[in-house]
Amino acid sequence: MPLEPGGPGCNTCTMAPADPHRWTYTDYVCFLRSHGFHNLAGLDEFLQWGMDALKNPNSQQPQRASSILLEFGTNYFRTSDMTDSSKMKFLLREWTKKPTGSPQPSNVQGRIIMVNNINPETVDTLGGLLNLEPAFFASHLADSGMGINGEIHSGPPLASSNLRQQKQFFTIEYPCAFVTNNCGKDVDIEKLYCKGNYRRRVEVCSRHGKQKVALARRKISFYMKKTFEPWICVVLVDPPISFFTLGSDATFAAYSPTQRLDVTGYLGGYLDFLEARPPASKDDHDYRNCTTNPMCPNPFDDLCRHWSIMSRPDQVDFGSITMLSLMKPAFQIAASECSNFFEYIRATLESQPISTMLASDSIKAKRALDRCISLDSMLSRYKPILTKNKAFVSHNADLSDDYRSLLIDLHHYRAECDSQMQHILAVSQHQDTASLNIIKTESIRHADYSRYLTIIALIYAPFALACAIFSLPHDFAPGAHYFYGFLPATAGVAVVFLLLVLPEARDPLPVIKTAICGKLTRKKLLAKPPSTRVSSEKRVVEEV
């Protein structure tokens, strides 16, 4: 990116109007990135993708973002679909325009705009009309597994009162452990990313029974504008976990073919109403059937359900509600998912007892060590995330206790991983000592055999030379009877030589033995018959 907005190479700034007051939110983000705010690189690429998609309909188009409006009144609660971009722009202009006369009394106490799988158009609309901090969107889009841009920290490089005081926006990050149902061996799940307008990294932990347990990064971002009357809060949530894309591409527009995998929460979860068929009416749905079809929690539906309960009379005063109180359901979802993740770690650590039996199985010891290292690295990555969340919820006693308990569990499981790694190291040292002793014993035995063979060879050589001499034609035929006295001694030495040499050979005379057995070797006898693997479900691959 150039240093000046009109310099070569910056298409957005080149096409932007000369008057900064007429710039769009996309132009503003590009201008900030070109003037030192490198933390906005991912957001700038995201918005640039949206502009290129508008110009070129044949290119990869962003998915449609689902939006909903939750309006809290003094005696009512109302929801409205805001997926239509024209409707969103019209309502935002009405809410943000300056009043010309005396303000009209309103029963509305606050509004929440929740967006699922946000796209570039929605970012430009919300950021431009509500004047939102670009670091809010950059923090939500950032992912450490997504190329160079995603690896850059999304915090602003310069002083920002919003981030320092944390009064207007905050991003909740948490892990979500899930199991892929009937995932065939041909699916390379270790290279999958959660599919959406932006990607989320997937880490494969290990097998749970016959299934594969994986961990996906999830985020819920809040931005509350108290300057409006009534207040407006923008909430960004990730799309449900079910579609995946292969690889980590550098740009948002480059996608590999999409794979649809049925997933289940590691310990169950809520029914995903976006992925399942919705009931015909509210009365036709039996919530007890959710236990037979558990899915990964969908925060979009779950937060709507929580805020609907909070809006009941005598529950919460939304007119004077704080951002932390509004975010309480999201923090509870994140804490629940972290607890499920820790439960998986506990079950994994308890299922692999470390003992000296591993000394005889180096492959099993290596797998146990790899598993401990993987779990410890995941715990170390989520430690600063939980610490940041705990610091933010310090003013709420219930949430503070929950996250303090999660941090205690995290330190406990990290100590358990460290203890198991120390035990595996001790077993490995025992295995190394035993191997060295075996090598020493074998070396002594081979040295003894070498000495025996040397002595026998020195004895056998004169006999062989004598046999060769006496077998030649000569005139001392009457002395041939002396030759027959060498034959028994020569035969005895040859037998002793063979008895000492053959035990040293692991597979003596393999060519002759194979020919005698009709090429039927021991390896072929012990080999398992080949079997064709038939996948229980056919993987659906759709081109994006």
Write out pLDDT tens, residues 280-314. 665 555 444 444 454 555 788 888 888 888 888 77
In a domain, 332, yes or no: no
DSSP alpha helix (H) spans, 118-265: 120-130, 134-141, 147-151, 161-165
In a domain, 354, yes or no: no
Is 359 a residue whose pLDDT tops 50? yes
In a domain, 272, yes or no: yes
Amino acid code (one letter) for 84? D
In a domain, 524, yes or no: no
Q: How far apart are the first and last CA of the chain?
A: 29
Is 140 a residue whose pLDDT tops 60? yes
- The answer for residues whose C-beta is within 8 angstroms of residue 284's C-beta and 6 or more apart is none
- 3-state SS class at 389: helix
In a domain, 34, yes or no: no
Q: Could you give phi then psi for residue 455, rounded to 5 degrees?
A: -65, -45
Amino acid code (one letter) for 259? Q
How much is the pLDDT for 408?
94
Contacts 24+ apart (CB under 8 A), 20-28: 24/124, 24/128, 25/123, 25/124, 25/125, 25/127, 25/128, 26/50, 26/51, 26/120, 26/124, 28/127, 28/128, 28/134
How much is the pLDDT for 19?
62
Tokens for 102? Answer: 């005396």
Question: pLDDT band for position 331 (50/70/90)?
Answer: very high
HEC states along 214-236? EEEEEEEEEEEECCCCCEEEEEE
In a domain, 315, yes or no: yes
Distance CA 483, CA 331 (A): 101
Question: pLDDT band for position 221 (50/70/90)?
Answer: very high
Task: Say if CB 171 and CB 220 are below 8 A apart.
Answer: yes
- The answer for residues whose C-beta is within 8 angstroms of residue 430's C-beta and 6 or more apart is 356, 359
Among 90-94, 201-205, 398-402, 489-493, whose mean pLDDT is lowest? 489-493
310 and 453 share one domain: no
- Specify the higher pLDDT residue, 533 or 352: 352
How much is the pLDDT for 274?
36
- 3-state SS class at 88: helix
In a domain, 308, yes or no: yes
Give the count of domains, the chain. 2
Distance CA 267, CA 213 (A): 11
Q: Which tens digits make up the pLDDT trace of 4-54?
A: 444 444 555 555 556 656 788 988 888 888 888 888 888 999 999 999 888
Q: Which domain holds residue 118?
A: 63-95+107-145+161-276+293-319
Neighbours of 246 (CB within 10 A): 17
Query: Rg for the chain (alpha carbons), in Å?
Result: 36
Mean predicted confidence (pLDDT) in 307-329: 84
Per the listing, tokens 């590999």 go with 256
What angle (nearest 5°) sits at the alpha carbon of residue 239, between those of residues 238 and 241?
A: 110
Distance CA 181, CA 212 (A): 8
What angle (nearest 5°) sits at the alpha carbon of residue 511, between those of residues 507 and 514?
A: 85
- Specify the higher pLDDT residue, 361 or 221: 221
How much is the pLDDT for 286?
47
Percent of the chain clearing pLDDT 90 (strictly above): 14
In a domain, 281, yes or no: no
Per the listing, tokens 């090429």 go with 519
pLDDT averaged over every residue in the chain: 75
Q: Which of 88-92, 459-463, 508-512 has the highest mean pLDDT?
A: 88-92
Q: Which of 135-147 are b and which e, b meaning 16 or more Cβ less than 10 Å from the residue's Cβ?
A: bbbbbbbbbeebb
